Chain A
């Protein structure tokens, strides 16, 4: 009982802190814009060719290689490390206004199909919002939800479910 209470309190505290820290972190990220990813995308932007964009996107070592972002059950909260990775995508999109991306939201099989459609959309929109806050243009982004209809893992356990609760970034034409 006490432990449960503590857990609830701690969870509340952490959520509260996260909520406070969120926007600040985003602002900081946008201002700092450091890291190799940012440098690479800038160079690419200077070169300004689709080939460069394609190279960047197909580089398995680039932070842009991370295109899938995972979520907790019934949650659309982007994790802290994913925020950093998304910053690279935002920079890339900002540097390549001609490139657009589709954000696909997905859910695990638990919960009702229609609710999961809405949940997938909420996740996709949460990622889109972060990308826009960090420099991408809203016109470059399209969100779509497939709910629980397109799982990548077919099991019926948490191992499968955690892989299915996701948003995928798909760069059109690449």
Chain B
């Protein structure tokens, strides 16, 4: 319990405060209500007169009776008053309760009215906001639409430009292709002629190769890969006029064997003068090399 209180001092304080408040309210209400209950009832003044005994007695009796009756009547009156008072108090209490209820009702009604007013205000605000949003949305959509239209237009323009460019390029290509084909055809024809000359020259080169090869005795003592280059002058009969060493192998035996090979192979096979190819063979170089392996 104490631990609980320690843990919740605020709760305790609140509880105490609430109790004190209730107590105070009770005391105050009791004090205010007292004046109404303590009010003294109005008293009737009695007039006393002397009378005979019998008579007095009767009178007395009768007075007494009257007294009694009056007392009873007073009592009844007091009770009635008391009841009335009680009824009045009850009425007052009821009226008070009613009044409070009415006040409460009024308060509630006002609160409700206020709430409704607030709600209406809010609804109005929301409506306004929504209206504003809607307006903005509409504006945005419009903007977007315009942008899209712009882009679409641009794209159309771009495509158009591209298409034109492509067409232009294709046309250029086609023209170039045609030009190239024409050139190639010319080249091909030239090459064909060159090739024919070339192959004819090749043929004679092969023949010379074979003839020199056949007549060459490679010195066995020569190093592998050793080579000599000879400059050979020929006449249209194919006869070797001169043989000079353009590049010596550095080995006299090898150089001599190379010279011998060319001399022995003379006359060398050369194209006839009429072919116009002999000039290619008027002076030739021969490289004689001992195989590496």
Direct contact of A and B (CB under 8 A): no
